[in-house]
């Protein structure tokens, strides 16, 4: 696997296994507003396009827009305080980040999670291993817009030719393509190998160690 100067990561399903906390928060928001809950596997399929799309997919299809907005607000408030109840880094992720930084590589996170949660989770779990953390905000459109990647490259002071994006979804593949950089698709996240290949994955990694094999 080629070496790069900058490694920009997705967060959910790539660095952190956030599914249990996301599912619990979705179901709290649904339950609090009198709506039926979702299974964890359903939530897993809904994750990847930002919290707005997550909630839109989770509520019943005929839910009025104002109710959907209330569910989203409930989710955001609850998740901020419960985003790390069960969340943890995937095995090997901390060692991978340490190795990248030890070899002088630049590391950032670009997520479709809202910006405050992205920054707080990166600080809590990774400290200074992650130099830049960017989530969806009023000034950064959610993926597959290249906004987040472009801003991360600007803050890191690196060019597209020296940068790779690493994620677990079809959205990540498209985001990297829109930013003009390669994508490495990981196989330990929320989407399986067949799905990723069907959606254009070209380079696959089955473990964090595989990502850093060429920098060791």
**What is the DSSP track for the chain?**
----SEEEE-SBTTTEE-HHHHHHHHHHHHHHTT-----HHHHHHHTTS-HHHHHHHHS-TT--HHHHHHHHHHHHHHHHHHTTSS-EEPTTHHHHHHHHHHTT-EEEEEEEEEHHHHHHHHHHHHGGG-SEEEEE-SSSPPTTSSHHHHHHHHHHT--GGGEEEEESSHHHHHHHHHHT--EEEESSSSS-HHHHHHTT--EEESSHHHHHGGG-
pLDDT in tens, 127-136: 999 999 999 9
Residue 176 has pLDDT above 70, yes or no: yes
Q: d(Cα 216, Cα 212) in Å, to the nearest integer?
A: 7
pTM summary value: 0.92
What percent of the chain has pLDDT above 90?
93
State the pLDDT confidence band at 50, using cuts at 50, 70 and 90: confident
Residue 215's pLDDT band, with cuts at 50, 70 and 90, is low
Long-range contacts of 41-44 (CB under 8 A, 24+ apart): 43/19, 44/19, 44/190
Interval 10-43: pLDDT, tens: 999 999 999 999 999 999 999 999 999 999 999 9
Domains in the chain and their CATH numbers? 6-17+88-215 (3.40.50.1000), 19-82 (1.10.150.240)
Q: Give 85-121 pLDDT, tens digit per residue.
A: 999 999 999 999 999 999 999 999 999 998 999 999 9
Q: Could you tell me if residue 36 is left (phi over 0), alpha (psi between -120 and 50 degrees) or otherwise beta? A: beta
* pLDDT higher than 70, residue 211: yes
């Amino acid at each position: 696997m080629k070496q790069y100067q900058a490694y920009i990561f997705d967060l959910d399903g790539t660095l952190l296994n956030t599914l249990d906390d996301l599912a619990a928060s979705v179901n709290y928001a649904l339950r609090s507003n009198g709506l039926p809950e979702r299974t964890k596997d359903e939530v897993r399929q809904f994750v990847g396009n930002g919290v707005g799309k997550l909630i839109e997919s989770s509520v019943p299809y005929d839910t009025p827009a104002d109710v959907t907005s209330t569910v989203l607000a409930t989710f955001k408030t609850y998740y901020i305080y419960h985003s790390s109840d069960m969340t943890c880094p995937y095995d090997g992720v901390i060692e991978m980040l340490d190795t990248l930084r030890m070899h002088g590589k630049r590391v950032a996170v670009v997520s479709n999670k809202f910006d405050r949660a992205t920054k707080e989770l990166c600080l809590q779990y990774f400290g200074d291993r992650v130099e830049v953390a960017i989530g969806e905000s009023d000034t950064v459109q959610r993926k597959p817009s290249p906004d987040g990647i472009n801003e991360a490259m600007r803050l890191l002071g690196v060019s597209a030719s020296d940068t790779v994006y690493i994620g677990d979804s079809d959205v990540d593949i498209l985001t990297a393509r829109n930013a003009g950089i390669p994508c490495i698709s990981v196989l330990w996240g929320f989407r399986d190998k067949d799905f990723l290949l069907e959606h254009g994955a070209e380079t696959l990694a089955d473990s964090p160690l595989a990502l850093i094999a060429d920098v060791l």
